[in-house]
Amino acid sequence: MRDREYNPNRLDPTSTKPTRPLFPAPDCRFSRYNGGFILRPILRVVIDTESIRQDTRRLRRSALAALCFIALIWLIWLVAWLFHLELRPFGVYPRHVEGLVGILFAPLIHGSFSHVFANTLPVLILGTVFLYTYPRSSALGLSVIYLGSGLGVWLFARDSIHIGASGLSYGMMFFLFLIGILRRDRRSIAVSLIVFFLYGGMIWGIFPIQRGISFESHLSGAVIGVGLAFALRRRDPPRTEKRYDWGDEFEDDDN
């Protein structure tokens, strides 16, 4: 006859039938039986709150960077206006060696109050959205738009001095609109629709409709923005929907 093993977790040590342990190990899962229906939403709120704080900080940094650029533009115009400085020679002069300096300085120079005022909100809003939505692409993308739009003007524009930051704003607008169509994730599509709703009318600026306006700057910025949208569409990973481990365990308990 086989000897029976003694198990302290069994009610009857002489019985071979398995029973529930008297002292079960604690269940650390967040299920409905150990308070998971209370802890689960609390932990989710805590984690979501931290994510919101990180997004808020990044949005503030993006807005501050765009605001600093706007402040620099206004400061240059104000100094030129107060001291009657002529800064147009620092603009882009197409196909002239001395006009190459304008690739660096032309976006910072504006001819009048209405000129700098017209570029303020587009550059501020589009720049903030660009930096916030595509942080990995922003440094390269903005640099290429800034320099590439001026280079395109120097190569192909009319024989006149071109100044202003409109090429930068057109490049950002076309980039933000097209990249949302190419990426097709929710966030990019939402940004694309908002940008088109706010500044979709800018598309008419790439045509030579109005005299005294450098449509070449607009067109050059737009072409650079479109090219960057194709080149950088995979540089920033899409935001994944948050999913929590205890949510899966809670669903297992329901089943």
Torsion sign (Cα): 219, 224, 225, 227? positive
**Domain-embedded: residue 155:** yes
Q: Would you tell me the crossing angle of helices 113-133 and 186-199 to the nearest 10 degrees?
A: 170
The model's pTM is: 0.77
**Domain-embedded: residue 46:** no
Q: Is 200 helix (H, G, I), strand (E, B) or coil?
A: helix
pLDDT band (50, 70, 90) for residue 254: very low
**Domain-embedded: residue 53:** no
**Could you tell me if 155 and 185 are in contact, meaning their C-beta atoms sit under 8 angstroms apart?**
no
| Per-residue model confidence as pLDDT tens digits over 52-86 | 888 899 999 999 999 999 999 999 999 999 999 99
| pLDDT at site 33 | 46
pLDDT band (50, 70, 90) for residue 87: very high
Q: Which two tokens stand for residue 44?
A: 């989710």
| pLDDT at site 253 | 47
**Domain-embedded: residue 241:** no
**Domain-embedded: residue 180:** yes
* Sequence-distant (≥ 6) Cβ neighbours of residue 73 within 8 angstroms: 107, 108, 110, 116, 119, 120, 123, 165
Give CA–CA dist 119/117, Å, rounded. 5
Q: Which amino acid is at 158?
A: R
| pLDDT at site 44 | 57
DSSP letter, residue 174: H
| pLDDT at site 188 | 94
**Domain-embedded: residue 147:** yes
| pLDDT at site 77 | 97
Query: What's 92's domain CATH number?
Result: 1.20.1540.10
| pLDDT at site 19 | 54
Q: Which two tokens stand for residue 46?
A: 């805590």
Q: Which amino acid is at 195?
A: V
| Per-residue model confidence as pLDDT tens digits over 192-249 | 999 999 999 999 999 998 888 999 999 999 999 999 999 999 999 887 655 545 445 4
| pLDDT at site 42 | 52
| pLDDT at site 35 | 47
**Could you tell me if 157 and 111 are in contact, meaning their C-beta atoms sit under 8 angstroms apart?**
no
**Domain-embedded: residue 143:** yes
| Per-residue model confidence as pLDDT tens digits over 104-154 | 999 999 999 999 999 999 999 999 999 999 999 999 999 999 999 999 999
Give the residue numbers spanning the domain of 138: 62-231
- CA separation (Å) from 143 to 8, 39, 104, 140, 254? 73, 47, 11, 5, 53
Name the domain count of the chain. Answer: 1
Give CA–CA dist 116/165, Å, rounded. 8
Give CA–CA dist 18/243, Å, rounded. 38
* Sequence-distant (≥ 6) Cβ neighbours of residue 155 within 8 angstroms: 94, 95
**Domain-embedded: residue 173:** yes
